[in-house]
Amino acid sequence: MGVLYCVHPYDSECAEAFLGGAVKGAVAPRSDARSPTPEEVHAALAALPHATCHVASRAHNDFDVEVEIELEANAPSNICRFSTLLHYRVVRDVINPFTKEVVDRNPRHPARVHFEKGSPILVLAITRLLSENCGPLLLDGDGEQVVVEAGRAVRDMLAEWSLASESFAHDVEVLFGAEVKEALERAWATRRMPLDAHAADERSPEQLWRAGVYDEAISRYAVLHGVGIADAMNALRALRK
């Protein structure tokens, strides 16, 4: 199935459950944050440029939406595809799990949303569109959380989400450009640097690389020289030549 990305309204209960009550990314929990309605889910998907969506019902209240976007990157023959499977369940009544009684009947029928597998960048883009009407949403994927809000800069949310990988950075470059990708890689590298400078290994990136401490060497080189992870890796690899 791959990584599961779950979407939660970012209220005080959500902040306490996932973040220990801490405010992440300078976004305060809001009491009016809520789950989207099915209509808002489909409106967000309709607002995605170049997107193709196929809706299939799995059960009476359950729906799957296959989402795919194709974009040209660098050259006409280089086509990048971004896809994900969005699942939502329509919550018609809130039931007390102990008495089985109906506690609340919500006429707007909120939808519990999660994504199965696919591009995390596309998942973030859809969640950001949902937040325009629903308030801040917490996106939980692969054990890493990010608070998504329509007014936040994309690069800030990307840097906060600790899903550092080459494929993630490549998707960022295609969708948002090289400048955002390089800023994101610098943020990743900075976060991986030791916080205690006195206790940290004082060897240079080149010394660390020759000693086989590759991750630390790459991170330190990127921070010291203000370059991205890929450029730092290429520069250190050149030492072998």
Pairing state between β 75-90 and 62-73? antiparallel
pLDDT per residue as tens digits for the range 161-218: 766 566 677 777 777 777 777 776 776 666 554 433 333 457 788 887 887 777 667 7
- Measured distance CA(1)–CA(224) in Å, rounded: 39
- Measured distance CA(159)–CA(182) in Å, rounded: 11
pLDDT per residue as tens digits for the range 24-47: 666 888 989 999 988 899 899 888
Q: What Å distances lie between residue 235 and 3, 159, 194, 223, 238, CA to CA?
A: 33, 23, 21, 13, 5
Over range 2-23, report the average pLDDT: 81
> Which pLDDT value is given to residue 37?
87
